[in-house]
Amino acid sequence: MSRVAIVTGGTRGIGEAISLALRDMGYTVAANYAGNDAKAQAFTDATGIAAFKWDVGDHQACLDGVAAVAEALGPVDIVVNNAGITRDGVLAKMSFDDWNEVMRINLGGCFNMAKASFGGMRERGWGRIVNIGSINGQAGQYGQVNYAAAKSGIHGFTKALAQEGAKYGVTVNAIAPGYIDTDMVAAVPAPVLEKIVAKIPVGRLGQASEIARGVAFLCSDAAGFVTGSTLSINGGQHMY
Ligand code: NDP
């Protein structure tokens, strides 16, 4: 029986590319999503990959969602925490709700999904968790104290959980994408985006498939000695 992978936010953008890459590795993939039913249906129709709707910021929904995937497809050995949102604004204009919502989904989602899946991975002696951070969690970004804090938190979360999984064959890693050509980046005003691209040494936005290839490696058997690491895939925009 092939291993089962859940990709949160797996029906569009970077997550869609990750779902396809893991499917192409021979894994059985469940793509989670939040609310865009039309896109999720189109994704399933085009790929045959099952889509499961729940809010990763809701603790109980994650416990129930992972249980539903396990019931339908088998025990979950791989989780890619990719779902994320932005609620940008300078601190003076950022509401408490904008802060909480980004923390709840982007960082809380990682905790909720790990709580739902890590124990089973440990018991079975094999697991892969990949958390999608961001260049803006590494370097900060104007107008994103909520997003940068949540993504930076993901990198700490990754290193801490990696230590708990290492003895049990469960690796926990992060990927920090730079600017990738998805709906999220399409929402950035064009003049701002031009300035961002001008700072990317390779001279272009990244493609979702370029993040997915990194995730696929970290989810493979070959990556068993890689844990607690962050792979930066950003066209050379931030090197440290
Ligand atoms: P998109 O906005 O294109 O897609 C986001 C996905 O996440 C959608 O599938 C959406 O579901 C899902 N989602 C959002 N909120 C929730 C929720 N509460 N529960 C479950 N699913 C949810 O994002 P990207 O593909 O651009 O980004 C993917 C990840 O990569 C995010 O974590 C983002 O922060 C990170 N990232 C992106 C970068 C970029 O340049 N694009 C750069 C660095 C990091 P639905 O379709 O139902 O709305």
Q: Is residue 146 within 6 Å of ligand 1 at its C-beta? A: no
**Ligand 1 midpoint to CA 184 (Å):** 7
* pLDDT, tens digit, 9 for 90 and up, residues 164-197: 999 999 999 999 999 999 988 888 899 999 999 9
Active site residue 147: yes
82 lines ligand 1 (CB under 6 A): yes
Burial of residue 186 (number of CB atoms within 10 Å: 0-12, 13-18, 19+): exposed
Q: Is 111 part of any domain?
A: yes
Q: Each residue of 196-235: pLDDT tens digit? A: 999 999 999 999 999 999 999 999 999 999 999 999 999 9
Calculate mean pLDDT across residues 27-47.
98
Ligand 1 nearest-atom number relative to CA 36 = 47
Number of other residues whose CB lies within 10 A of the CB of residue 189: 7
Q: Is residue 138 part of a domain?
A: yes
Q: Is the pLDDT of residue 88 over 90?
A: yes
Q: Provide mean pLDDT across the span 76-105.
A: 98
10 C-alpha vs ligand 1 centroid, how far in Å?
A: 8
Residue 240: pLDDT over 80? no
Domains identified in the chain, total number: 1
Q: What is the mean pLDDT of residues 130-143?
A: 97
Answer yes or no: is 64 within a domain.
Answer: yes
Q: What is the pTM of this model?
A: 0.98
Residue (of 78, 20, 75) closest to 49 by Cα position: 20
- For residue 179 and ligand 1, the question of a CB distance below 6 A is answered with yes
Tens digits of residue pLDDT in 94-116: 999 999 999 999 999 999 999 99
Whose CA is closest to atom 2 on ligand 1? 184
Mean of pLDDT over the chain:
97
C-alpha distance from residue 40 to each of 23, 52, 114, 133, 215 (Å)? 16, 9, 23, 23, 21
Does a structural domain hold residue 10? Answer: yes
| pLDDT level of residue 8 (50, 70, 90 thresholds) | very high
Residue 190 counted as domain residue:
no
Q: Give me the domain span that covers residue 78.
A: 4-181+207-233
The pLDDT of 48-76, averaged and rounded, is 98
Alpha helices by DSSP H, 166-222: 183-186, 190-198, 208-218
The predicted model gives 129-143 an average pLDDT of: 97
Nearest CA to ligand 1 atom 33: 84
Amino acid at 66: V
Judge whether residue 154 has pLDDT over 90: yes
Residue 187 lies in a domain: no
Q: 73: CA distance to ligand 1 center in Å?
A: 24
Q: Looking at the domain assignment, is residue 189 inside a domain?
A: no
Residue whose CA is at the smallest distance from ligand 1 atom 36:
134
CATH code of the domain containing 72: 3.40.50.720
In a domain, 110, yes or no: yes
